Structure 1
Amino acid sequence: MSRCWAPISPASAQPPRPPARTWSSVSSTSPGSTRSRSSPPPVRNTLQESFGAETFDYLVNNAGIGTYAPYATTTPEQFDELVQTNLKAPFFLTQALLPLINEGGRVLNVSTALTRGVVPGMSAYAATKGAIEVLTRYRPSSWPSVPFASTR
């Protein structure tokens, strides 16, 4: 089971805001996640129940699994699991949560140094993290007030 983590700070906090200290986990197999999008993500419920808030400040997409497999022997199942966790989950989680991010909030997509170097057996992993870097550059123009950043 893969997880994306979203740090949550109270929407009612006044600047300067303290660092977010509470973390809400959103499983990619839970209702409202990338595999079942019929209901709102659990983050919305956590915001309301734990903080009495409707919005939050920062989303950190730090999803990642690495499968060591040489390029020639990587199976479709291994590749699909990497894409599901490292690319699809952050893509659709961000899509679902962008409307909940406060003005001035941020989205941080975590990548890897393996997108700039070569480590045998890590090609599929590096490809999915490289896709996150490209996705960061293509942030939705309909949310220009929410800056995206990528780190490795």
Structure 2
Amino acid sequence: GDVIERVQLTPVAIQEAMVLVDHLYGDNSASIDYSNIPTAVFCQPELGTVGLSEEQARDQYEHIGIYVADFKPMLQTLGGGTDRITMKLVVDEASDIVLGCHMVGEHAAEIIQGMGIALKAGATKAHFDATVGIHPSAAEEFVTMRKKTR
């Protein structure tokens, strides 16, 4: 990542090295798709993101829908904690494709990893809406956001 000025993440660098090895010694068929690479910042609270930000989506698409949830997870509620979680979905209104998923809060990296698979597969907001969430979990909020924030 540092040499070719692309995504500077360890897992990306490992995949780039594997592609190089394939090009040098294999059948030269491996490649890397740099879109929708999930990433996280392991701080407190944890941050996780995949896909386009709201600003990037507004620059690239005519009409986008933004869905935001901010809540106190049940674990915090029952345990007397004060931590909150914020989640955002960025959706192209013309195609209904989910362009970005973002999260601030506990387990953001674990949850966003799964969202990365969904975005790579071209999931739509309708796919998210049709998914039954695991209750009680923070992740279920991504599939229960129905009201556009903006």
**What TM-score does the superposition give when structure 2 sets the normalisation length?**
0.27
Say which one has the larger Rg: 2
**What TM-score does the superposition give when structure 1 sets the normalisation length?**
0.27
